[in-house]
Amino acid sequence: MCGIVGYVGKQKAAPLILEGLKRLEYRGYDSAGVAVWQDGHFEVAKKTGRVANLEKEAARHKLVGSAGIGHTRWATHGGVTDANAHPHLSSDGQIALIHNGVIENYVSMKKFLLAKDYTFKSETDTEVLCNLIAYHYAKEPAVAGESRLLESVRKTLRHVEGTYGIVVMALDLPEELVTARKGSPLILGLGEGENLVASDVAAIVSRTQNVVYLKDGEIARLTPKNFAISTLDEADITPVIDKVNWSIADAEMGEYAHFMEKEIFEQPVALENAMRGRFSEDGSTAQFGGLNITPGEFRGIERFMFCACGTALHACMVTEHLIENFARIPVECDYASEFRYRNTPLFRNTLFFVMSQSGETIDTLAALREAKRKGYKVLAVNNVVGSTIAREADGGIYQHVGPEVGVASTKAFTSQLLIGAMLALYIGRMRDLSFGAGVRYVNALKGAPDLVRQVLKQAPHIRTIARRYAHHTDMLFLGRLSLFPIALEGALKLKEISYLHAEGYPAAEMKHGPIALISEKCPSVFLAPKGEIFNKIVSSMQEIKARKGPIIAIVTEGAELPPGLADEIITIPECHEAVLPIVASIPVQLLSYYIAVERGCDVDKPRNLAKSVTVE
């Protein structure tokens, strides 16, 4: 979850590293630090808080070296202090290290090192790893044509239990970085007379668009002019160089106040990109190029299993509803974090799907590996080309929505809803969904971006509502069928960025306990589309109103509420069932965003959260 940047070349390293850290601040912002080799020593600047604090500290250190490493921290071991911030130096001053991940056996390693007279200034597992590399480095003989640092890191990592993405420097090798990964993403950026390493493409795309995605168990050595990749077992790896298909401008905020606001308003275009080229010529079904499974194999599937975390799990829950409705196949959704630890009975002819925007979510990756270990085929829905989940899945679907920087997912979520709806159509047309029904379904999906544009025009109205309710401390989100997961998502968004207590429930479940929470100080947001259960939802609303609970109603056009029942009304276009969850997501995103803004919260960097959860 931390941000990692390393540079070796001819330019001043610190400005490039600080620029990269700013672009990675969504990955961790408890503290930040940079270490640069200059004048025969490591010059280190570290500071708690945001990268802006580090910039001021770095200016005092006058960093001019051309090789260095930088880090933004999301605390795991040890509190948020300057001492616990990365980079860490070994107690003999020979090794500098940054690290993302968790070293599970660091206690025994530390005990060993204390007996060897190594000392520690922090509470972190990372400093233990740094000293262990220094221990091996001191013992490693210098051999012409070989990297003493590379071999020291390799020997150290053979003793490590846990996960890591690391970048290491040695004091007497000023033009060399060594980097390695296991369970934590790392990308090499290949430039002219310079090479970089980072935990996210966003940190290096301003310098180069030629990248190599490291795999678990790989270790790389970088100098200004060369790089080489091998395994911990010393097997050489032939690198695959990929081209980044977006520019730094795609990750800029532009005219918006926050990345989250920008990404909310990018959703019409994001949806268009996600469906481009993915419908059949006759306009009756969806088509996907990377599933690596034939229609005949799909017809043999008797059950689907979806695993994901957080927002992506809510998208899976909507997909469950649509597949069961339109394809008539049982679907189960599970928290990826729980799946690998439960002894879940699994049916034959089950196809697994995992969803993850980053493609690096550690719990989802673990669920993927567990399913494959048990012999099941696993397909992935994710947004990042070259991510670990994309590489390890048997096939999958890219979202193609471009970089999403805001920690609270918006455009990635609605694109996951769209892809889930397209999957339901694809599978349904193989079963018993008629040609005509397929055509109507496709036309509805194609019209989704314009429907979203219509809802976005209501942003000023929704902002006015948000101002009236921003002072409350509790809020309920209520929906039914395919909109129940949207209620969960609305509550999650509000919690994430405004720190209000919020819960999502099926509307009919209110009377089974949660109604005890209702008061004048606890507003309820109802998702109430016109349809067969509209009157049931109205009954739930009346139960809330009878107990003086304020009501914000999100209703489709033509739905008539009893006069005075809702205190606030947000109207969305009436639409096809497959599109409804997408359209209904927009008001809850805007409501959460504007409440957070009104409360003065840091929308893009909410406390205690990071964009990509890469530690368990």
The model's pLDDT over 142-170, given as tens digits with 9 standing for 90+, comes to 665 568 899 999 999 999 988 899 999 99
What's the pLDDT score for residue 611? 56
Predicted TM-score (pTM) of this structure: 0.81
| Per-residue confidence band for 507, with pLDDT thresholds at 50, 70 and 90 | confident
pLDDT at 220 over 90: yes
511 has a pLDDT exceeding 80: no
φ and ψ at residue 263, rounded to 5 degrees: -70, -30
* Residue-level pLDDT at 257: 87
Judge whether 121 counts as a catalytic residue.
no
Helices (H) and strands (E) in the chain, counts: 18, 25
Q: What share of the chain in percent tops pLDDT 90?
A: 51
Question: Residue 468 above 70 pLDDT?
Answer: yes
The catalytic position among 2, 309, 316, 333 is 2
Average pLDDT over residues 498-524: 84
Query: Over the stretch 46-79, which tens digit does the pLDDT of each residue have?
Result: 888 888 888 888 888 888 889 999 998 877 767 7
Higher-confidence residue of 205 and 423: namely 423
Residue-wise burial string across 47-68, b where 16 or more C-beta atoms lie within 10 A, e elsewhere: bbebbeebbebbeeeebebbbb
CA gap 257, 268 in Å, rounded: 19
CB 131 within 8 A of CB 117: no
| Residue whose entry in the numeric block shows the structure tokens 């799909």 | 298
For residue 305, the cross-strand partners are 332, 352
Mean pLDDT within 400-411: 86
Q: How confident is the model at residue 347 (pLDDT cuts 50, 70, 90)?
A: confident
List of domains in the chain: 3-248 (3.60.20.10), 253-457 (3.40.50.10490), 458-605 (3.40.50.10490)
Exactly one of 47, 262, 605, 611 is catalytic; which is it?
611
Beta bridge partners of 71: 4, 33
User: Looking at residue 616, what is its pLDDT?
Assistant: 54
State how far the Cα of 569 lies from the Cα of 465, in Å rounded to an integer: 9
Based on the residue annotation, tell me whether 495 is a catalytic residue of this protein.
no
Bigger pLDDT: 91 or 613?
A: 91
Q: What percent of the chain has pLDDT over 70?
A: 95
Residue 89 has pLDDT above 60, yes or no: yes
